[in-house]
Structure 1
């Protein structure tokens, strides 16, 4: 396992960020009106969208969503609009939301929303595109699929004003591979409260409950959508191998998704909880001993930040999203049993892993993220034709 300290993982892109704002033009006097669009409003994407809206109170936030439960009033959206049906319905509902909301900027979250928004042929509204990872990074997909998805991303660069990337790796992909002119690093932040050992200024010693080796059999948890990107089959194999070598070991997957993949997890003895947020999610994380993130590609997952926030040592696969973080890594399911046992029972390994998690949390600066988004939204203005033609705001 790799416990080397992080060396390059720190959002230090103020100069490129300032340059990108300069290209966007003067800051308008009116309050920015932001329409967030996502076709997968659950899991990490839901957390990010809600956090963005909450962290930038200087803007008026509206939501057009599909694929998850309706947000509660605490989310604070000025209006909420539902995508009803498939891709054609998404285009229709997006057009309707534009007329009702009259946004100064549209913030598209994930690739399908990015296609819906940037493929729109009506009057242009400035677009912020946040991919939440690029599908062409999936090395286990067919070459034609990877080339096709990359070609689509490249074709839409001309209809993208700014890309919001959540890691330096994703920012480099946006510029160097896809060809975007402007990409801003806005780090993700946890969706749960900090535990006692990860609160700002905390420096847990060897007697901290988070550091002390655990008794009994280990409990391993994963958080995310049950889908190919998160690789539930890999997690299921890790669970089978660990259970065979470590009697009593338990594996839990927090999330939901593809029914067939959920069956694969259950067959391996993995308990699938469905989606949890807030205190229920915190309770599950607090009951665990190790967090294992099985995704085969990522932007940078909120789930890892949530686990680190609740004093869990984190294991990840060696994917580029985690370059420079120093998080402990396992390449194959066969390596998981030994890694879990060491993090569960060895005080030195557990303490080192917790320290790396705290460093990652410190680098993912929520104040920095909020400031960059606030300046980004303020620096964009809607096309006059769209603003003049739009109807009043409605729900």
Structure 2
């Protein structure tokens, strides 16, 4: 099968998701992509993809809504799609590509189309109510044009169903790392380390992270680590004396740092199904996650961690976990087991392989890596 991926936001979790699909589904993959140079160059992102994936630069694609530029991007996308022969499925990723892609496919008469939001635009907490209403209108309009919505988590799917948009979901997944003996051994109870990973942005709510960390600043045996980087203004919010900001690390270094921690904390305002948390789950970490779309699908209270709404709740859970290390270790075990059952990329890729084959009418040819 020939699968064409269309993505404006060719960086971070979305690019990682497409990368995994190209690795674990047995299809010919073509990626039509924009570029966010402030986050990562397209060349750097492409270098991480497996051999055999083809790339086409979508020059006029950009994040914000600008009608003139968006019309140029739509015309360019139509031209690109017209010139690709033998497309079986078009998979659109994130909201801008989702809207322009469905408009282009409608105008070209293409019906084998999937749209995966990977973070519903109307769930954003950093935009005005007026802008949220615009996002909802655009999602409803695009839904009438072409394709089907396939969300990346149950809670994201529910948010679309609440708008009257029929949808289904396939969980995001991650490659499960082998756990070293050191990972499986109980850690000495000296320093209690709480880690998070991701770009320091308003979405990740550094203010809440800082508030939680600041409440432990007098306790020398508690430290907080933020793996990632961000703009100066957002970094400045993380000013509690017990927070270390590592900057970007290699994949091996991230896995090592997360594995060595006692607790994974996410203070996000909204998510799709976050890969950073999925990877912490796969490493067998106890999770403490803000109760937002996406996060809520990855934690079961008392089973593999806890969800929270306020800093006070989060602080109380950290204190409880520090005093109940045996319960914490049991939750770590549950995280890994749950990851193996539901979030292994090999399971997720088989679900996408079947969906692609179903849309292409090629179920009789189905082979899975």
TM-score higher than 0.5 here? yes
How does 1:279-358 map onto structure 2 within 5 Å?
279-321=252-294, 322=296, 325-326=300-301, 327-344=305-322, 346-358=324-336
Structure 1 residues 275 and 76: alpha-carbon distance in aligned structure 2, compared to 1, 3 A threshold: farther
1:130 maps onto 2:99 in alignment: no
Contact preservation (8 Å) 2:225, 2:243? yes
CA deviation map 1:5-47 (0-9, x unaligned)? xxxxxxxxxxxxxxxxxxxxxxxxxxx2112122223322222
- Which residue of 69, 81, 87 corresponds with 2:56? 81
Q: Which residue of 2 aligns with 1:177?
A: 162
Work out the CA distance in 2 between the residues paired with 1:231 and 1:118: 32
TM-score, with length taken from structure 1: 0.75
Query: Are 1:98 and 2:81 matched, yes or no?
Result: yes
CA deviation string 1:139-187 (max 9, x = no partner): 675332322211211111022422222222222333x223334x33212
Q: What RMSD over aligned residues (CA atoms) do the two structures have, in Å?
A: 3.0
Summarize the alignment of residues 220-231 of structure 1 with structure 2, pairs less than 5 Å apart: 220-231=194-205
- Structure 2 residue aligned with 1:187: 171
Deviations 1:266-306 (A, max 9, x none): 57664334444532321221232211011122222221121
How is 1:108-147 mapped onto 2 (pairs within 5 angstroms)?
108-120=92-104, 122-125=107-110, 126-138=112-124, 141-147=127-133
| Count of residues in correspondence between the two structures | 337
**CA–CA distance in structure 2, aligned partners of residues 82 and 346 of structure 1:** 52
Q: Secondary structure at the match of 2:144?
A: helix
TM-score of the pair, normalised by structure 2: 0.79
Relative contact order higher in (CA < 8 Å, ≥ 6 apart): 1
Q: Measure the CA separation in 2 of the matches of 1:267 and 1:83.
A: 41
Distance in 2, Cα, partners of 1:55 & 1:267 = 41
On the 8 A contact 1:34/1:60 being kept in 2, the answer is yes
Alignment of 1:381-392 (within 5 A): 381=360
Q: 2: distance between equivalents of 1:96 and 1:280?
A: 42
In structure 1, stretches of 5+ residues that fail to align are 1-31, 198-207, 383-395
Correspondences of 1:145-224 after superposition (within 5 Å)? 145-174=131-160, 176-181=161-166, 183-191=167-175, 193-196=177-180, 210=184, 212=186, 214-224=188-198
- Consecutive unaligned residues of structure 2, counting only runs of 5 or more, are 63-68, 362-369
1:62 aligns with 2:23: no
Secondary structure of residue in 2 paired with 1:189: coil
Displacement after TM superposition at 1:316 (Å): 0.6
SS of alignment partner, residue 273 of structure 2: coil
